[in-house]
Amino acid sequence: AVLVVIVLLAAFSVWAVIDGGAQLYLQRFFDGITNGLLYGLAALSLVIVFKATGIINFAQGPMAMLGCYLALTVLEMWPMPVLPAIVIAMVVSGLGGAVLERVLIRPFDPDNHMAIIIVTLALFLGFNALAALVWGFRPLSFPSPFPQGTADAIEIAGARLSYQAIGTALLVVGAVVVLELVLNRTRLGLSFRCVANDVANSRLLGIDIGRTVQFSWALAAAVGTLGACLIAPSTYVDPGFMNKILVYAFAAATLGGLDSIRGALAGGLLTGLSVSLVTGYLPGVGSELGLVVGFAMIIAVLQFKPAGLFGNRAMERV
């Protein structure tokens, strides 16, 4: 399946270069990679909760949006560089995610996935309304932690690669490396991987399931906040600005595999490239139809490869 996707992208790329030239293709390629890394980071926050609980957190987008507003509030209250404000917002968001899991999620039976999903849908609506009530609907600009002037870019074969895109890519890769170290080198990370593999056996081994699931919600909230703060400089912050990104994150997580952390990042890259190239080259498909491409990818993956490119098949005795 991975080989088929690579061959299709390669064939489309060859046609795109012939149709519009190498410079235009490189520009759209750079844009797709940058957006894809951000989609992958947003997908990562979905995968973290899914691995620990087996549910999709539909409130992940609004939670990330609130974290971005929190970073803006920190910058207004205490003048400081952007990166420390983002870190503060990530810490507070992580604590908020932990409280949210303890108060609203843990009282439900973990096997009653439908009830928990309904709670996340209610949170989706509630957080959007809360943001509108506190900050209003007026779009706000978010400063970039990296240089973003017209001259702050390098040229490669005529295509511009901005310092903001380079810095964003390095920060996303660094966040994924830190996440891998946390999950593979810490005791809490080991507990998380055990619960993700088998809840029943983890309980028999004496692992605190509630604490581990709470850790996953906190970690997902922090990662989502980082993604929202990196996306915000290229758009405007308003109560619904992460809803569109959430669709691309779903596409990336579904494509990479909902139970694969590395697959989330790979799925994000493939989603970003696909959306950038399809909306840029196919006649009649403009940027405003990018969400349609995202939904089409979700449907295609669920139809032909339900486990995703890097996900694991669930084995059941029947």
- What's the pLDDT tens digit per position in 158-184? 788 888 889 999 999 898 888 888 888
Q: Which residues contact 305 (CB under 8 A, 6 or more apart)?
A: 1
Q: What is the pLDDT of residue 204?
A: 78
In this prediction, residue 96 carries a pLDDT of: 94
What parts of the chain have a pLDDT lower than 50?
316, 318
DSSP label at residue 237: B
pLDDT, one tens digit per residue, over 282-305 is: 766 666 667 777 778 788 777 877
* Structure-token pair, residue 237: 């912050």
Whether this prediction's pTM lies above 0.85 is answered by yes
Please tell me the predicted confidence (pLDDT) of residue 318: 43
State pLDDT tens for residues 21-50: 888 888 888 888 999 999 999 999 998 888
